[in-house]
Structure 1
Amino acid sequence: MSRYPRDFRGHGPDAPDAAWPQGAKIAVSLVLNYEEGGENNILHGDAQCEAFLSDIAGAAPWPGQRHWNMESIYDYGARAGFWRLHRLFTGMGLPVTIFGVATALARNPEQVAAMKSAGWEIASHGLKWVDHRDMPIEEER
């Protein structure tokens, strides 16, 4: 039997000592993906609406058409969800890392200003969503 290519063993029975500062036993990193405005949408020059990353079961692309339900999910995230989390995390004084899609951040300057004002780290989550699955290596470069 050939070896299965995925590793499920991990560290095995003897996990390494992480040696956290001051003997801490756990480290928590809060990361918020900020993608609202980076999804596929004909308003962004895409051929179709978003269909992959969605709460809509069985979502399918609608070539050449806006998908109002899909857009409303992403709009809610920027208009309400972000601000709810911002109030929660800043109210507790918790640092946050934002994994931001660059086109989403560019379309939402008020939220970016709030992230910066809170001292949150903003990390790149790419320019926009691109399906690299079958992309030729030359195009990806």
Structure 2
Amino acid sequence: MTERRDFKGYFGAEPAPNWPNDARLAVSIVVNVEEGAELSIADGDERNERTYEIREEVIGHPDPCMETHFTYGTRQGYGRIADTFDRFGAKATFSTCGRAAERSPWLLQDAVARGHEVSCHGWRWERQAEMARTDEAVMIARTHSAIERACGAAPVGWHTRSAPSVNTRELLLEHGGFAYDSDAYDDDIPRMHNANHVILPYAFDTNDMRFSPGGGFVQHRDFSDYVIGAFDRLYAEGARAARMMSIGLHLRLIGRAGRIKGLEDVLAHITDRPNVWIAQRREIAAHWKGLAT
């Protein structure tokens, strides 16, 4: 049969370290902005989101408990996270749902004013695997436009919640406004899809989503211990081969008062090491594309 998956990747031929200023590791911090884009019957959606601080779905009726758990992210979580980035001089990528951008444009405008990137994360907070091709194309264009309106600049990156469809990457290329996507979890090194489009792998392990019920993180140190361990290993490997690390955050998760110290400890550790490039994803994509041309 025709092979549709690449199991080998860079094995046996990993690219040498090549980051700016002789950095041994590129670190990408991604803040997922999903608040207001979660499925909610009160907003006219077909069902309520079931993944938040507890695992419970209200069926057939509005769920203000779930909604207020999400709203905590914009009301309190964002400020703590943004101020932490400022203290450590870290620039991040805010991966944002289109409906969230329409509801909280002030948040994205503040993030841009602080020097961060804003990228696309779908219209609603939902997977795309089951979407019809034409519906998905409309959704991608709608998301891109909403973020451009909110920020005053066109986004260049895309990341799907969980599973993209078999058409997603092709539709991004057809749209023409995207330089990269993050719909891959299979490497610690970027790669080119074609001459103009970069795939930047993302990660679910170095991610505060593991604070969700059953995810394994409970105390703030659970997050920092794991992420620092991954950083140290990739930093060591970065002496001989190109390495990129993704750290995934959510306003309503790491932004909680009992968890924010985990992010503070991670950034203190990373910024204490020489030769580390903390970069927006668009910067990493542009650099990698430049190496390929």
Global fold match (TM > 0.5): yes
Q: How far 1:38 moved relative to its partner?
A: 0.7
Give the structure 2 partner of residue 56 of structure 1. 54
Identity value in percent:
31
Give the structure 2 partner of residue 23 of structure 1. 22
TM-score (norm 2): 0.42
Q: Which amino acid aligns with 2:29?
A: L
Give the structure 2 partner of residue 43 of structure 1. 42
- Higher percent of residues as helix: 2
1:13-56 Cα shifts (integer Å, max 9, x gaps): 542213122221111111111111111112322122112x4232
Q: How far 1:96 moved relative to its partner?
A: 1.4
Q: Is 2:42–2:63's contact at 8 Å kept on the other side of the alignment?
A: no
Q: How far 1:88 moved relative to its partner?
A: 0.3
Q: Is 2:41–2:63's contact at 8 Å kept on the other side of the alignment?
A: no
3-state SS in 2 of match to 1:132: coil
Distance 2:21 2:53 in 1: 41
TM-score (norm 1): 0.79
Give the structure 1 partner of residue 248 of structure 2. none
Misfit runs of 4+, over 4 Å: 4-9
Q: Which amino acid aligns with 2:131?
A: M
Structure-to-structure mapping, 1:1-141, within 5 angstroms: 9-51=8-50, 53-57=51-55, 59-60=56-57, 62-63=59-60, 65-141=61-137
1:102-121 Cα shifts (integer Å, max 9, x gaps): 21122113322321221211
For CA contacts below 8 A with separation 6 or more, give which structure has more relative contact order: 2
Q: Which amino acid aligns with 2:74?
A: A
- Structure index of larger Rg: 1
Distance 1:109 1:134 in 2: 29
Q: Which amino acid aligns with 1:60?
A: E
Q: Is 2:41–2:62's contact at 8 Å kept on the other side of the alignment?
A: yes
Distance 2:54 2:123 in 1: 24
